[in-house]
Amino acid sequence: MENRRPETLERIVTLKQAEAFIEEQIQALREQIRDGKVLLALSGGVDSSVVAALLIKAIGKNLVCVHVNHGLLRKGEPEQVIQVFRHEMDANLIYVDAVDRFLDKLAGVDNPEKKRKIIGAEFIRVFEEEARKLDNIRFLAQGTIYPDILESGPVKSHHNVGGLPEDLQFELVEPVKFLYKDEVRVVGKALGLPDNMVFRQPFPGPGLGVRCVGAITRDRLEAVRESDAILREEFAKNGLQGKVWQYFTIVPDIRSTGIRDGLRTDEWPVVIRAVNTRDAVTATVEDVPFSLLQHITDRITHEVKGVNRVLYDLTPKPTGTIEWE
């Protein structure tokens, strides 16, 4: 029954409830870990960020966070992880710039499942290398949340940074494993994490890699990252952040003719996708105001290198999936 939410755990809705949860967890973590050292893969997503902030409060520098930049993160994300955790929370943070490694491995690979496998396997390899450089690590912290346990049965919790070799098995520390996503967000808020970290939309593990459709190239990946940043900025300015469930841009590997300064261009289209869903199994398309779409189109076609068109994806799920690959 270790993986069943305790009946005594009240649903966390208010900051006061979150503060009580935090106090309890700090005590429990100190009892479990004592003076041991804990390793955490910190992606900057809500779950791992909340786990990091809890552990920093409980054990300070005995937590070692590893942030792997695989080159497929959104604009500003690695910088924010460093700013928040190293500079503001004074955490023990190892930043690994693995951009070239990932992009070299992915060069020329256009099959979506192969891309996912390469990203997943390379991530474990980088994390393993970092873990081997450290001494006396006894615990591995993970941002497992309750839906992960409910959806995958009790096995998944052992497979999150799964794939680590036999000699690198640690005791797991999973302080938010009985919480639902909305509760994790309230706890994050109570821990003082910034809103754009706490209320972040879902982001796939392979990151922008599955939005740079086909074989990833650095220039087209930059077009994905820059157009995504513009879309997010405009959605935030126009009150859509936190209202629309997931929104992002895709750059497929096709070119079309355009015209700029009287000359013909041969450039990519950017596709905007903005959807609402409860469970990601089905999804509807957000009715974004046409004038806002026109404004975003104007910005993307003028500010993003290599892009001459913008399209809006009108397809619900089904028949389209949320991501393009």
The closest of 272, 270, 280 to 304, measured between CA atoms, is 270
Cis bond before residue 277 (omega within 30° of 0):
no
Residues 244-263 vs ligand XMP: string with x where CB under 6 A?
--x-----------------
The closest of 73, 110, 96, 94 to 206, measured between CA atoms, is 73
CB 323, min distance to ligand XMP, A: 3
CB 237, min distance to ligand XMP, A: 23
Gap between the Cα atoms of 272 and 297, Å rounded: 9
For ligand XMP, the closer of residues 9 and 280 by Cβ is 280
Map the footprint of ligand XMP across residues 204-243, applying CB under 6 A.
204-206
Residues 142-161 vs ligand XMP: string with x where CB under 6 A?
--------------------
For ligand XMP, the closer of residues 181 and 237 by Cβ is 181
Q: Which residues contact 190 (CB under 8 A, 6 or more apart)?
A: 15, 18, 19, 22
CB 161, min distance to ligand XMP, A: 13
Radius of gyration of the chain (CA): 21
Residues 181-210 vs ligand XMP: string with x where CB under 6 A?
---------------------x-xxx----
CB 89, min distance to ligand XMP, A: 25
For ligand XMP, the closer of residues 27 and 315 by Cβ is 315
Residues 79-118 vs ligand XMP: string with x where CB under 6 A?
-------------------------------------x--
Our finding on whether 44 is near ligand XMP (CB under 6 A) is no
Q: How many residues bind ligand XMP (CB under 6 A)?
A: 11
The closest of 147, 157, 156, 149 to 180, measured between CA atoms, is 147
For ligand XMP, the closer of residues 267 and 286 by Cβ is 286
Gap between the Cα atoms of 298 and 314, Å rounded: 19
Our finding on whether 323 is near ligand XMP (CB under 6 A) is yes
User: In the set 150, 237, 280, 284, which binds ligand XMP (CB under 6 A)?
Assistant: 280
Q: Which residues contact 220 (CB under 8 A, 6 or more apart)?
A: 212, 251, 253, 268, 306
Q: What torsion do the CA atoms of 148, 151, 157, 159 make, to the nearest 10 degrees?
A: -110
Which residue(s) pair with 173 in the sheet? 141
CB 313, min distance to ligand XMP, A: 12
For ligand XMP, the closer of residues 256 and 321 by Cβ is 321
For ligand XMP, the closer of residues 188 and 206 by Cβ is 206
The closest of 270, 273, 272, 271 to 307, measured between CA atoms, is 270
Gap between the Cα atoms of 73 and 57, Å rounded: 27
For ligand XMP, the closer of residues 58 and 176 by Cβ is 176
CB 246, min distance to ligand XMP, A: 5
Our finding on whether 317 is near ligand XMP (CB under 6 A) is yes
One-letter amino acid at 322 equals: I
CB 285, min distance to ligand XMP, A: 13
Which helix (DSSP H) or strand (DSSP E) does residue 93 occupy? Answer: strand 92-97
CB 117, min distance to ligand XMP, A: 10
For residue 201, give the DSSP letter: P
Which helix (DSSP H) or strand (DSSP E) does residue 67 occupy? Answer: strand 63-69
Structure tokens at 267: 């450039």
Which residue(s) pair with 39 in the sheet? 64, 140
| Binding footprint of ligand XMP on the chain (CB under 6 A) | 116, 202, 204-206, 246, 280, 317, 321-323
